[in-house]
Amino acid sequence: MGTDAQLVERERAPDEINARARAVGLLLDAGVPFVVGGAYAYATYTGIYRDTKDLDLFPRKADALRALQILEKDGWRTERADEVWLYKAFKGDYFVDFIFSSGNGVAVVDDAWFEHAQRATIFGHECLVAPAEEMIWSKAFVNERERYDGADVNHLLLKAGHAMDWERMMRRFDRYWEVLLSHLMMFRFAYPSERDIVPEWVMAELMSRTLSTLREGGWEEKLCRGNLISRVNYHVDIHHWGFGDGRSWDENERQRGDESGARSELENSVGGGR
């Protein structure tokens, strides 16, 4: 990892880079809409380059299926790995990930990913690059033992924070505002001289919500929302210690909100409690 652009591809065989470039070209020629994410988007905003084992493309879910069909015709093996968030396409040992949501089903790729995307040249093609705000929205929930995206969030804030749409960021995190606050506090710790990158009103609003939760106290329902940020680290809590499944609860709450055409009680509350 460093500031040398060649780091993205130095450890990769020419055939692998050519496979990535071919996939991008085929999808652009076919008119399949996607934004580029992963290491290539991260480098676009931060200037930090690192070796990457795959190419991450972010389409809407319906377009992810179209992408598989296009690549299948070109001889790629395809896999619908997880209907919540991930399809894959393989060219021999090389592969492309089609990511249409975060793994917890929260950060769904929608029109805003395209409306606010940046443009960059990727493999010789002019491509849309995922917005920094949506990258943070997705990365903020990655808190596994073997992978934590907090440093990525910090670097995106450092390099792109001044130009971010913070009102959109707050809407994105809405019912998950505590997750955003946790990352902003880590950013303040990592870069004490750069605290003004995050607007004062954002911190004031999030701290106000925190104080409200202190006054409200704990929830009556014994619930663990840890499995929204980790697939495995809170298994014991839910299956052995009597905590309710927070991810299932959250999915039901979001579905109720979608069906009613309005935000849930949780989303409308300042403190986010019940």
DSSP the chain: -BS-GGGGTTTS-HHHHHHHHHHHHHHHHTT---EE-HHHHHHHHH--B---SSEEEE--HHHHHHHHHHHHHTT-EEEEEETTTEEEEEETTEEEEEE-S-TTS-S---HHHHHT-EEEEETTEEEEE--HHHHHHHHTT-B-SS-B-HHHHHHHHHHHGGGS-HHHHHHHHGGGHHHHHHHHHHHHHH-GGGGGGS-HHHHHHHHHHHHHHHHH-S-SS-EE-GGGT-SSTTHHHHHTS--EEHHHHHHHHHHHHHHHTS--HHHHSSS---
Q: What is the pLDDT of residue 8?
A: 63
pLDDT tens profile 45-102:
999 988 788 899 999 999 999 999 999 999 999 999 999 999 999 999 999 999 999 9
pLDDT tens profile 221-268:
999 999 999 999 999 999 999 999 999 999 999 988 776 654 444 444
Q: What is the pLDDT of residue 4?
A: 66
Q: Domain 5-130, what fold?
A: Beta Polymerase; domain 2 (3.30.460)
pLDDT tens profile 128-174:
999 999 999 999 999 999 999 999 999 999 999 999 999 999 999 99
- pLDDT higher for 20 or 51? 20
Q: What is the pLDDT of residue 274?
A: 40
Q: Say whether pLDDT at 112 is over 80.
A: yes
